Structure 1
């Protein structure tokens, strides 16, 4: 049976990397879809900012659910929702929240391995446990979602991460293997930008690798490095707000 989740999963194995120009509401999702996108992904930072909240699960979960409902209704493409750490303190709570998002039409999710209760990263066991709980819960309901496991070793400077870039990559690969074993479909390494390390990560991780960029100029080199998914995070929202400020200033100065 072909579902939005299976379509989205297949996009990670096509000849060209999946490029996701991140949306923040139904209007931006529709505009991106009209521009030739193959799928839509949200940025938690942008969704929160557009609603008057800060990132880091400050946006109430019911607002995230409403945003998901509106975005999936506005486009016919698969939609991946940035769920941060899943808005729950246990694997069961996270799984229940993801189930809600899937029932609202989410074909994919991003799930961070950040420690929700403090700084730094969650333990590998806890982060993998969230993923396993999601996969088990969805399978029990006959549902599917592409789990893009976000590993923040290149975003976090706490004592639980190595100081060198190569050391961080080693930890990222170790975490990626655990997350994939737990049921993840892809691995997201935001903050990883060195081309040599990107290529090493793509070689070492047996799943689609997602890297975040700010400019389309980086896409060609990432394609050569073996990256299968390229996203822009909050950059589209920031650019849109900068353009809006500039247009408003011009209007007020006229």
Structure 2
């Protein structure tokens, strides 16, 4: 039987491997099963924005934690032995307790964002998350997110790079496994971040206009995820299909029975 601790160790090994870990974000049990069925899938990651949207909430901890964790637990159950990393926003006010409860539904890793809080407060959040995993006997895999780019507020990119490096080093020292730096990062910026934080210690997001997974891998990035983009792809396909049906079309014959 694969235990929660076993899954956490698997996720940590995937982060440390020379090959970049691609996690195609999911938002419910059927999207998780659909992605898990692909032979290339090695781990599952939830998208907090997408889960909130599924229940009609805006992103940013507006969804009640109980509702979010219930759905994440269903995702864990749907994908069997695959490790699941959850988007826990900024920790829902108590990162330690939130991680403890996430572990309770089978989660083995998470993103927790700093929202550019003062560095000492952000480090304390990382420490609380790691301590919660240790208390539960799970080597919890924290993908500590810094919003140095997405909350930059128009400051020069050099300042965002320096801020991300300072924060990233502090989060790793506090026990985080990776540093998640969302934003559209070109090769030059990515190279500076990897040089400053560490090879295979950076996690990025595959937004439109970003580099490919292979390009990020060559630069020393450990992980790439896609956040709410995957749900947007699915919803775009749904809306386009509906428009075609309203225009007199039919369901395409090549539609696969994935549900």
- Which of residues 7, 14, 39 in structure 2 aligns to 1:11? 14
Matches within 5 A, 1:1-254: 3-35=6-38, 36-76=40-80, 77-88=82-93, 93-114=94-115, 121-158=116-153, 163-206=155-198, 208-214=201-207, 218-254=212-248
> Matched residues in 1 for 2:16 and 2:177: separation?
11
- Equivalent residues, number: 241
Q: Structure 2 vs 1, CA of residues 217 and 176 (structure 1 numbering), >3 Å: closer, same or farther?
A: closer
> Matched residues in 1 for 2:159 and 2:191: separation?
15
Contact 2:108 2:138 in 1 (8 A): no
> Structure 1: where are the runs of 5+ without partners?
115-120
- TM-fit CA distance, 1:253: 2.1
Contact 2:146 2:164 in 1 (8 A): yes
1:17-70 Cα offsets, whole Å, 9 max, x none, are: 000111111111111111231100011111111121110011110111101110
> Matched residues in 1 for 2:135 and 2:238: separation?
46
> Matched residues in 1 for 2:19 and 2:135: separation?
33
> Matched residues in 2 for 1:168 and 1:192: separation?
13
Aligned to 1:118: none
1:220-242 Cα offsets, whole Å, 9 max, x none, are: 22111111101111111001000
1:200-251 Cα offsets, whole Å, 9 max, x none, are: 1112113521111136962222111111101111111001000001111112
Misfit runs of 4+, over 6 Å: none
TM-score (norm 2): 0.89
> Structure 2: where are the runs of 5+ without partners?
249-259
> Matched residues in 2 for 1:212 and 1:185: separation?
16
Contact 1:112 1:151 in 2 (8 A): yes
TM-score (norm 1): 0.90
